[in-house]
Structure 1
Amino acid sequence: MKPGQGSSSKKLLDFLNTKPPPNYVAGLGRGATGFTTRSDIGPARLPAVLDRPIGDNQKFDDFVGNDAGLLASAEYDVEDNEADAVYEAFPRKERNEASLIQEIEKHRVSNPTITEQSATSKRKLLEVTPEEWDNLPEASDHSMFRNKKNKKNKYESFVPVPDTLGESEAGEGARSRPWTRRARRSTGRRRMEMITSHPDIADNKKLSRLFHSVTNSNPKEPRGWISAARVEVAAGRLAEAQKLIKRGIEECPNSEDLWLEAVGLSPPGEAKSVIARGVKLNPYSVKLWMEAARLEHDIVDKGRVLRKGLERIPGSIRLWKAVVDLSDKEDAVLLLHRAVECCPLHVELWIALAGLETYENAKKILNMAREKLPKEPVIWISAAKLEESNGNDSMVGKVIEKGIRSLRREGVEIDREFWMKEAEAAERTNSVVTCQAIVHNVIGIGVEEEDRKRTWVADAEECEKRGSIETARVIYAHAISVFLTKKSVWLKAAQLEKCHGTRESLDALLRKAVTYMPKVEVFWLMGAKEKWLAGDVPAVRSILQEAFAAIPNSEEILLAAFKVEFESHERERARALLAKVRVREGTERVWMKSAIVERELGNTTEERRLLDEGVKRFPSFFKLWLMLGQLEERLGHLKQAKKTYETGLKHCTKSVPLWLSLASLEEKTDDVSKVRAVLTMARMKNPRNPQLWLAAIRVESRNGNKKEADKLMAKALQECPTSGILLATEIEMVPQPQRKLRCFDALKNCEKDPYVNAAAAKLYVHHGKVEKARGCFDKAVELAPDNGDIWALFYEFEIQHGNEQTQKDVVKRCVASEPKYGEMWQPIAKAVENSHQKTESILKKVMVSIGKGKRIN
């Protein structure tokens, strides 16, 4: 024996001695079958049970049937259970046949044969008269299906398609065979949903045939007749349309829509007779009675028709409202009394009746309505309005409060949103006291304590947007009563009064605000400004004196007092106030304003002294350096001015105005290279700044270097792609044919930029589109109301293309906006000769400077 064979032989012998697994048959995998011998089953002796005779009353076993006697002693083991499970899981022939039959039946129901579909229509062919046979249209040309190229589609099947495809096919003359077949096969609602009055129908005749098929296959469907008639009307065949509607009425005499269509197609003299027949056949149709009343020209006849309708349909609210509208007050009262008897659950009838009755009767009617409709809040609101209209303002709040309690007892949930809308509705009917009562009683319902201020302010703002000013005012008043020391609520209320109230109402609110919060400067200043705008200088001084007494060390109040004196040409008093503040170590703004006063007075020496002292005290405040440099320029000391700007830039590297002033000074010396160097350094210190890029571009343009200007613009837009002022300048730089496209791209990227909208307005003016230009200008000033340059452009546009009213409107809006910024606006507004000029005067000067006598276009 070779090495290793002993162990393998031993393993084989062990395997042969092991017990085979259950149901194992040797050789079964190779095709062998098992067999049984006598030695397997034992001696050939029948069980003793077979010696007993089988009687008729022997029980049938549910498991083994009649063989129960033979196998009664057999044991049902695990192998039997496994075999039964396999058998049950195996698909049986009966199961397959039943499932197959069920699937076939389902398929036949959902896919009926052509014979089954047309069975009903075939039976109806027996009713076709010889005249109808003669009127059948000629068969269409189907030669295309005989073409050899189309033979492969001979047995093509068609599936349902969307209705939208059907509509488009109808518009193209129904040239599509699949849709036509589908339309002929389909029945019911889908077949009627087509656009039959499309103006581009190419073949009305084919569409007429289609609807002829529709009405024949389903004559009891009113929409089919209406659609077919409208196709004929669109084709100009009115007589044929009238015939179709007449046949439709015969088939569907109870269709309101068919009768209304018949009235529309009837000649004027026959319309009344048609609607009379319709009403006779449909006496309970509100639509037909309303149409019958409409056809009458005399009010008395209209009322008579409506009353006849009410005899048939006494519960129709629509008929009651129509007949009441036609009646005078006395008859309307009588009719409404009858209406509430017939329709006691319709609150609008009760409210209308109460509105026509006297005060005492109206109260009784509303009480009756409340008994009939105890859960209806509108009744209580109407009762409150009734009290207010009769001068009983003290009762209004009590009625609303009582109504809310009563509704809650009835299990009605008080819907805060509904009641707030009713408050706005009351305001629209001038029931202001009712509006106030509703708000006070429901404003806090369902609002968490920590959310009250935010929610109430949001409610007031939404009311203001909808024009419900009184409702917003009441909400703010309630919020103020709860949050007496919340500055934000007071400011919101003051803004509302400023925009929609009177000077008196605003003054009263601000007086109340400073009573509760005397240390808040803004309320004093707002009150002083309103008095200033009203031209009441003594009142302004009085308010500021009170404010200074309440807040002794307030620089804001002192500066406001200085402005009053300065604008009133009381320069010495203004100087004294500023000196007083400077002694108290005032801020940089005090030194700046002090220098402005001296500049206006022409005291150059004092102006220089204040500025020199100011830059030492506040070296990081760029405006003082700027003013000092401008002083040197005015005096012709250009070298000193340059030194001042350069020194200022050492302390204020990020100040763009200082860089621009230095560049402008260098340009005055005709040294472009130095200007470029200054602006390059400025851009390095202030990256992504559109103003510095724009200055560099304009320098090149002024010196005739268009290519260099274009290059700089390309670089600028790479660094500042959303800069509106750069995009607007680029639109003006490109050739005229390209401007429209550039403007479109700019609007797409910066739709809400004022400069881009102003550039678009200019382009619209050039193309003669005045209204679009006005819209762009209007949007631009809304986006930047403080930019005086855009207001000047807008005003120039109205001078050229508007009228006196539009020009006044622009001026009025500009004055209200008080613009302070703009490349042209600031130098003109801050010039010494214009220091006390009004906004309107500055606007006109800037317009002249920008336009230079040229038209925008």
Structure 2
Amino acid sequence: MASSKPNNASGFTTRSDIGPAREGPSAETIAEAQARRGEEPDVDPEQFQDPDNEYGLFAGTTYEQDDEEADRIYDQVDQAMDARRRARREAREQEELAKHRSERPKIQQQFADLKRGLSSVTDEEWESIPEVGNLTRKKRRKDERSFVVPDSVIVGDRAKGEYENALDPMQQDAGGLATPAESGALTNFVEIGQARDKILSLKLDQVSGTSTASGLSTSIDPRGYLTSLDSATALLKSNAEIGDIKRARMLFDSLIKSNPKHSPGWIAAACLEEHAGRMVAARKLIMQGCEKCPKSEDVWLEAARLHNNDDAKVILANAVQHVGQSVKIWMAAADLENDAKSKKRVLRKALEHIPNSVTLWKQTVNLETSAVDARILLSRAVEVIPLSVDLWMALARLETPDKAKAVLNRARKSVPTSHEIWIAAGRLLEQEAIRELESGEKTKEQIEKGLEMVDRTIEAGVRELRRHQVLLTREQWLKEAERCEAEGSPRTCEAIVKACIAMGLEDADGDQGALGEDEKLEVWLGDAESAEGRGRIGTARAIMAYALRCFPGRRSLWMRAAELEKTHGTRDSLEAILTRAVHHCPQAEVLWLMLAKEKWLGGDVSAAREVLERAFVANPESEQIWLAAVKLEAENGELEVARKLLIRARSVADTERIWMKSAVFERQQGQLDEALATLSAALVKFPKFAKLYMIQGQIHEAKGSIPAARAAYAAGIKACTKVIPLWILASRLEEKDGRSIKARALLEKARLVNPGQDELWAESVRVEERAAGAGTTAQSQAQAQAKAMLARGLQECPTSGLLWSMSIWAEPRPTRKARSVDALKKSADDPVIVCTVARLFWAERKIEKARTWFGRAVGIDQDWGEGWGWWLRFERQHGTEEHREEVRTRCVAAEPHHSQVWQSIAKDPKNAGKSTKQILEMVADALQ
């Protein structure tokens, strides 16, 4: 039977398959309807899902302290990397900017010298400069033309700003209004103004609380008025922040609802409400957090903070029921108590719950006023917590010395990995030895043996720690040594240095990577300098002592130790170091001389002679020791002994300097003929020694024999053409004899033989300046010649501080500062330039700046004597006696020897035997 269904049947679709024909309500419409019905909107649980996180991966976990620490560490790393990139970027930008400025300088920099040169242009030259417009004859400026404005324009502008407050008849008819006469309703603006004023006065009466109609003056409380203003400001501020607060509240509300066991969420929500000023809501939220997260100590602590004192006590009492092992909870509960007795009660209750808390034991002991009760508590504490080093140390400090030793022995057995216990044992032995020394119970030998126990104790401690695999680095041990020094235990500091200074540097078990002697010495010297820089002189001294014990034959090491004692020690300690130094290094002449000088400065001349006699035995041909012996005898009035020593020295040592000192000695004693004979004999042996010619010429000049002096200088110039002072002395002799032309020729020849010598250029400028100041007819020409000579000198010696200083003083007063800026750019580290800038500040009465720059000048080169002289001259005028004494003390310590004025005064025979302090005073008087 055939089927009745047609073969070409097709499917169909109804409305139930495709839905309604119109769109349903939107999400906003649904939200508004729910709000009208009082229903809360549905929160999408995936609304705050992190798109970068996998879905549901950490849904069941809590945000713990480890997570917070990890986030903080990542943030710190990011900040450090950003700072490094920023520093590199800024450095690169600075380099590019500097390169760009060097390649393309500003117009202002290119024409700075020319602009300063405009100051010398006269008024006539300014007037003679033609105008540009008169030369070009182009683009003449057209003559301005004026026109008369018609009256219609003026009337129209006048009516432009007018206002009309009434409608004309045409406008009223067009609007369907009646005429004013027919309607009778005219607008009275005067009555409107009066009504407004009346309303305003009524409002003011309400604010003031009084009536103006009664005739009484209104009064407003200023404090209440200002308070209301503050509240209004706060309200405005909260209105400005209300949007952010609402959004944050929505986020935190979602957080605590989605994860109610997350304690930081409750704390953050409560803090938000506190910031918004809703303390009731904040307290309610935090208490809900306490119910949801009873095991979180942070929630309980935050709840206690948000409540008053009494409620906080109740909250913390409840917290103890849930987190009784939290030390923070108990400490917060103790802090809420006002009297010490209540605090003790809370802490003792806490110790019953947490007996192994070091913090609670420490706090409990600190509250005790009796040493006996504190000792009892600590005895119990170390029984409960035997691994706490702090408790053992506190107990040892409270015990007597004998019992403290027993306590430290018990502590050492309980905590064999603690280095603090061994250091405390060493300090205890040191304190006991010092106490016995002060009381006189034992002799010095017994006390020294007791101090040696400190060394053995520290050495044993280092061995035991190493046996228990506690390997502190050398730097850590040195820090412990510095701490011991700071706490008043220098012998323990020294013992630690002895035990640890060679760690990692000594050869051990055939280690091929151990350092050599020079490398170890360099490391130790670096450690000593670092300790000295931090003010730990005892540690530096201990390091130097160990290095000297290892390398007793190093002269430089003894010199460094002597400098350390000279700077920070006493004369006795310095003499002790130098005595050991000359014993180990008898060939070091400088050590003998330092020891002899210290003996001499200490007033023991016989001991100084004895030191020099021993030095003669060790170094029979040393000219320094011979000259030191001569100086010692001459300074103490033994002139014949000094002369005999010089004669013997010429036969034993026979050096050019000894011959020169012999001639100088005779010159100082007034024996000029004997000095000339000595110089003649010396020149036969040493014809290339320039100082012999100088002294010979000066003696002839002092005797008034100009031709003999000229011959001496000429012979010296011929033999020593590279010695600048010889040329200068010869030139000054010619100038003194009235032959300025000859002096100029000598200096010009000297400049050709010795190019690039700023002293020769400076002397040439001085020759011209002296010629200009002599009052001759060619004075202006000499001044111009001096300026030209100075300019030529600066071209050949562009970095000479001497020439730049002369150039600054040659400028007029208004332009000296600009010239000093150029000088500092060319040679900023030259003491002459820095001193010149200080003198400029001095002239401008900028006292503090001048004092600072004088200090910088002598700091750059302490051997430049004129800097000290200018500084003392400045302090005489503007400083106190303390300032002047500081300059003298620092100058004596520096012992300057050079500069033109200083040498001319110090080497004058009349000033022989004067101290550095006296020379400084004379230099300050001579400077102009």
Decide: shared fold, TM above 0.5. yes
How large is the Cα RMSD of the aligned pairs? 4.1
Q: Does 1:502 align with 2:502?
A: no
Alpha carbons of 1:727 and 1:274: their partners in 2 closer, same or farther (altered >3 Å)? Answer: farther
Whole-Å separation in 2 of the counterparts to 1:375 and 1:446: 20
Q: Residue 380 of structure 1 contacts residue 399 of structure 1 at CA under 8 Å; is this kept in 2?
A: yes
Instruction: Note the alpha carbon deviations across 1:324-373, whole angstroms, 9 max, x for none.
Output: 44543344434444554565544333323322222243233333433443
Note the C-alpha offset of 1:715: 4.4
Alpha carbons of 1:564 and 1:296: their partners in 2 closer, same or farther (altered >3 Å)? Answer: farther
Aligned residue among 212, 216, 222 for 2:249: 216
Aligned residue among 722, 743, 753 for 1:654: 722
Whole-Å separation in 2 of the counterparts to 1:736 and 1:305: 79
Q: Residue 278 of structure 1 contacts residue 288 of structure 1 at CA under 8 Å; is this kept in 2?
A: no
Q: Does 1:842 align with 2:910?
A: no
What is aligned with 1:459? Answer: 527
1:41-190 correspondence runs (5 A) = none
Instruction: Note the alpha carbon deviations across 1:603-659, whole angstroms, 9 max, x for none.
Output: 221122222332332222111111122222222333433332232111111112112
Note the C-alpha offset of 1:476: 2.3
Whole-Å separation in 2 of the counterparts to 1:686 and 1:817: 31
Instruction: Note the alpha carbon deviations across 1:645-674, whole angstroms, 9 max, x for none.
Output: 232111111112112222333433555554
Instruction: Note the alpha carbon deviations across 1:706-762, whole angstroms, 9 max, x for none.
Output: 655555445444444443444444444444444445545555665543333323333
1:11-30 correspondence runs (5 A) = none
What is aligned with 1:600? Answer: 668
Note the C-alpha offset of 1:589: 1.1
1:271-290 correspondence runs (5 A) = 272=309
What secondary structure does 1:636 align onto?
Answer: coil
Note the C-alpha offset of 1:562: 0.6
Whole-Å separation in 1 of the counterparts to 2:834 and 2:332: 52
Note the C-alpha offset of 1:588: 1.4
Whole-Å separation in 2 of the counterparts to 1:579 and 1:420: 55
Note the C-alpha offset of 1:498: 2.2
Alpha carbons of 1:227 and 1:608: their partners in 2 closer, same or farther (altered >3 Å)? Answer: farther
Note the C-alpha offset of 1:548: 1.5
Instruction: Note the alpha carbon deviations across 1:495-529, whole angstroms, 9 max, x for none.
Output: 22222222222222222233333333222211111
What is aligned with 2:874? Answer: 797
**Identity of matched residues, %:** 41
Whole-Å separation in 2 of the counterparts to 1:684 and 1:769: 43
Instruction: Note the alpha carbon deviations across 1:21-75, whole angstroms, 9 max, x for none.
Output: xxxxxxxxxxxxxxxxxxxxxxxxxxxxxxxxxxxxxxxxxxxxxxxxxxxxxxx
What secondary structure does 2:837 align onto?
Answer: helix
Aligned residue among 772, 785, 789 for 2:862: 785
What secondary structure does 1:650 align onto?
Answer: helix
Instruction: Note the alpha carbon deviations across 1:233-270, whole angstroms, 9 max, x for none.
Output: xxxxxxx597897788679778969988997xx9xxx9
Aligned residue among 377, 381, 403 for 1:361: 403
Instruction: Note the alpha carbon deviations across 1:574-594, whole angstroms, 9 max, x for none.
Output: 111111222346111112111
Aligned residue among 728, 731, 734 for 1:663: 731
What is aligned with 1:833? Answer: 910
Alpha carbons of 1:414 and 1:565: their partners in 2 closer, same or farther (altered >3 Å)? Answer: same
Q: Residue 693 of structure 2 contacts residue 716 of structure 2 at CA under 8 Å; is this kept in 1?
A: yes
State the one-letter code of the partner of 1:775.
Answer: T
State the one-letter code of the partner of 2:482.
Answer: E
Q: Residue 476 of structure 1 contacts residue 493 of structure 1 at CA under 8 Å; is this kept in 2?
A: yes
Aligned residue among 615, 618, 626 for 2:694: 626
Q: Does 1:493 align with 2:561?
A: yes
Whole-Å separation in 2 of the counterparts to 1:574 and 1:693: 41
What is aligned with 1:578? Answer: 646
Q: Does 1:370 align with 2:412?
A: yes
1:33-44 correspondence runs (5 A) = none
Instruction: Note the alpha carbon deviations across 1:275-312, whole angstroms, 9 max, x for none.
Output: 65785687678778778877888666776776677677
Note the C-alpha offset of 1:383: 1.6
Aligned residue among 404, 407, 428 for 1:386: 428
Alpha carbons of 1:682 and 1:371: their partners in 2 closer, same or farther (altered >3 Å)? Answer: same
Which is further off, 667-676 or 751-760? 667-676
Alpha carbons of 1:682 and 1:439: their partners in 2 closer, same or farther (altered >3 Å)? Answer: same
Q: Does 1:525 align with 2:567?
A: no
Note the C-alpha offset of 1:410: 1.3
Alpha carbons of 1:789 and 1:163: their partners in 2 closer, same or farther (altered >3 Å)? Answer: closer
What is aligned with 1:477? Answer: 545
What is aligned with 1:405? Answer: 463
What is aligned with 2:15? Answer: none
Alpha carbons of 1:375 and 1:662: their partners in 2 closer, same or farther (altered >3 Å)? Answer: same
State the one-letter code of the partner of 1:364.
Answer: A
Whole-Å separation in 2 of the counterparts to 1:737 and 1:288: 73
Whole-Å separation in 1 of the counterparts to 2:272 and 2:824: 46
Q: Residue 623 of structure 2 contacts residue 653 of structure 2 at CA under 8 Å; is this kept in 1?
A: no
State the one-letter code of the partner of 2:486.
Answer: R
What secondary structure does 1:789 align onto?
Answer: helix
Note the C-alpha offset of 1:209: 4.5
Note the C-alpha offset of 1:792: 1.6
What is aligned with 1:690? Answer: 758
Q: Residue 215 of structure 1 contacts residue 221 of structure 1 at CA under 8 Å; is this kept in 2?
A: no
State the one-letter code of the partner of 2:911.
Answer: N
Note the C-alpha offset of 1:563: 0.6
Q: Does 1:434 align with 2:502?
A: no
Whole-Å separation in 1 of the counterparts to 2:901 and 2:348: 74
State the one-letter code of the partner of 2:645.
Answer: L
Whole-Å separation in 2 of the counterparts to 1:759 and 1:260: 66
State the one-letter code of the partner of 2:691.
Answer: K
Alpha carbons of 1:728 and 1:299: their partners in 2 closer, same or farther (altered >3 Å)? Answer: farther
Alpha carbons of 1:693 and 1:436: their partners in 2 closer, same or farther (altered >3 Å)? Answer: same
What is aligned with 1:417? Answer: 475
What secondary structure does 1:824 align onto?
Answer: helix
Segments of structure 2 that go 5 or more residues without pairing to the other structure are: 1-26, 42-77, 81-233, 253-264, 291-295, 434-449, 506-513, 773-779
Alpha carbons of 1:663 and 1:259: their partners in 2 closer, same or farther (altered >3 Å)? Answer: farther
Q: Residue 792 of structure 1 contacts residue 847 of structure 1 at CA under 8 Å; is this kept in 2?
A: yes
Q: Residue 211 of structure 1 contacts residue 227 of structure 1 at CA under 8 Å; is this kept in 2?
A: no
Segments of structure 1 that go 5 or more residues without pairing to the other structure are: 1-113, 129-161, 165-200, 233-239, 852-857
What is aligned with 1:534? Answer: 602
Alpha carbons of 1:273 and 1:818: their partners in 2 closer, same or farther (altered >3 Å)? Answer: farther
Alpha carbons of 1:742 and 1:327: their partners in 2 closer, same or farther (altered >3 Å)? Answer: farther
Q: TM-score, normalization: structure 2?
A: 0.62
Whole-Å separation in 1 of the counterparts to 2:574 and 2:741: 58
Alpha carbons of 1:675 and 1:396: their partners in 2 closer, same or farther (altered >3 Å)? Answer: same
Q: Residue 208 of structure 1 contacts residue 228 of structure 1 at CA under 8 Å; is this kept in 2?
A: no
Note the C-alpha offset of 1:380: 1.4
Alpha carbons of 1:327 and 1:773: their partners in 2 closer, same or farther (altered >3 Å)? Answer: farther
1:692-707 correspondence runs (5 A) = 692-702=760-770, 703=772
Aligned residue among 879, 891, 904 for 1:814: 891
1:219-368 correspondence runs (5 A) = 219=252, 220=265, 240=277, 272=309, 321=362, 324-328=365-369, 329-337=371-379, 339-340=381-382, 344-368=386-410
Whole-Å separation in 1 of the counterparts to 2:742 and 2:532: 56
Alpha carbons of 1:699 and 1:395: their partners in 2 closer, same or farther (altered >3 Å)? Answer: same
What secondary structure does 1:413 align onto?
Answer: coil
Alpha carbons of 1:272 and 1:485: their partners in 2 closer, same or farther (altered >3 Å)? Answer: same
How many corresponding residue pairs?
650
Whole-Å separation in 1 of the counterparts to 2:866 and 2:426: 54
State the one-letter code of the partner of 1:681.
Answer: K
